[in-house]
Amino acid sequence: MSVSGAVPAPPGAGVVSDDGVAWHFGDPFGEQRAAARGIAVVDRSHRPVIRLPGPERLTWLHSLTSQHLESLSPGDGAEDLVLDIAGRIQEHFVLTDMDDALWLDTEPGHGHSLLHYLTSMVFWAKAEPQAADDHAVLTVLGDGLLADARQHPEFAAVVPVPDHQPYSSSPLPGGGFVRRMPWPGRGALDLVVPRTELAGWWERLTEAGARPAGTWAYEALRVESLRPRLSVDTDDRAIPHEVRWIGGPDAAGAVHLDKGCYRGQETVARVHNLGRPPRNLVLLHLDGSDDQRPAPGDAVTADGRTVGRVGTVIDHFELGPVALALVKRSVSPETALTAGGLAASIDPDSVPHDDRVQAGRAAIDRLRGR
């Protein structure tokens, strides 16, 4: 926010707030274009960071969460979830194993709850979750950079771009690390750096050719990529299948289907093997003739009947006003909808298609002679 031209973020929704970081620097659509086609840097230092050292950190966290972590090597990472007993999403975070510790970063408003949960579950494990307020996150966006770092030698000289494996990380000079993310767009780089070095890294990145961009640019590309945000695009009933968080690190997911024995696993297995999620995360196109916009949590309706809820709402430099929404699986893309009172329609390309034969359903059919 100390950079000239920085405009503060608008008030957040629910427990999520982007206070303290720039929403844009005076040209939000230009910043989005730079983030999509060139190189842009976004201050995301409002994300809480947790450090988790201890020799049993991987096996311990593996037993508590939805991701397969036991085989992580130094420099590896993943996305991960904490679920409740019914399989509903409580926490989402990105993690990296680096310098004999796991580093977790999560949504604003969730740092305390995630740390409290982890601390309460230590018991006798050799793991020591602790707040790492002295570290902060910067994100570099740019399809061109990640497609071929050789086209930007001046930037690659400043930041060692990790290999193409999702969530792989490399140490940074002066402390911290850079992590390859598989989204938004074709990918991004997260820099987790000492907070005292935040301004210095911002200056080095912009001098190397990255355009300063606000969180508006990041959110626009995230929405286009159909990536949900905890407590904005999820509610207290959301389960992982509804919001596309299924899969291991290689699939950019947060729920590994080849592990069990974690809280909420029964719901994940039942939906995967026997049914379909009750709702789907989809992209809505909104009526742009009205200056008003829906708010996260507003109802999505069809013929006056509530069929879903609005999540992130954003004005995209190419798509216009769009939103993520959790909508009942039975609602077809042709259905005329309203979102927060505005006319809306489902982008048909955003509707998930799952034609696989479910193992559990196939077994039941065999038992019934079908």
CB-based contact 296:288 (threshold 8 Å): no
Tokens of 114: 């995630």
Measured distance CA(211)–CA(143) in Å, rounded: 14
Q: How far is CA 364 from CA 159, 274, 357, 361, 369, in A?
A: 53, 9, 12, 5, 9
> How sure is the predictor about 365, in pLDDT bands with cuts at 50, 70 and 90?
low
Within 13 Å, how many C-alpha atoms sit on residue 278's CB side? Answer: 8
Instruction: Tell me the per-residue pLDDT of 310-338, one tens digit each, with 9 for 90 and over.
Output: 999 999 999 999 999 999 999 999 999 99
What are the φ/ψ torsions at residue 259 (nearest 5 degrees)?
Answer: -135, 160
pLDDT beyond 50 at 363: no
- The three-point CA angle 292-293-295 to 5° equals 135
Residues in Cβ contact with 173 at an 8 Å cutoff, skipping those fewer than 6 apart: none
Averaged pLDDT of the chain:
92
Measured distance CA(312)–CA(307) in Å, rounded: 17
What are the φ/ψ torsions at residue 214 (nearest 5 degrees)?
Answer: -95, 180
Q: How far is CA 69 from CA 37, 77, 110, 132, in A?
A: 34, 9, 21, 21
Q: By three-state DSSP, how is residue 321 classified? A: strand
CB-based contact 92:84 (threshold 8 Å): no
pLDDT beyond 70 at 367: no
Instruction: Note the helical H segments in 152-239.
Output: 153-156, 198-207, 215-224
Instruction: Tell me the per-residue pLDDT of 162-175, one tens digit each, with 9 for 90 and over.
Output: 777 899 999 999 99
pLDDT beyond 90 at 157: no
Residues in Cβ contact with 235 at an 8 Å cutoff, skipping those fewer than 6 apart: 297, 309, 326
Given phi > 0 = left and psi -120 to 50 = alpha, else beta, which region is 134?
alpha
Tokens of 365: 């059919």
Instruction: Tell me the per-residue pLDDT of 56-78, one tens digit each, with 9 for 90 and over.
Output: 999 999 999 999 999 899 999 99
Measured distance CA(162)–CA(178) in Å, rounded: 7
Tokens of 276: 């379909």
Residues in Cβ contact with 188 at an 8 Å cutoff, skipping those fewer than 6 apart: 139, 140, 141, 142, 146, 180, 181
Name which of 330, 335, 241, 235 is nearest 284 in CA terms.
335
Instruction: Tell me the per-residue pLDDT of 190-218, one tens digit each, with 9 for 90 and over.
Output: 999 999 999 999 999 999 989 999 999 99
Tokens of 341: 């009172």
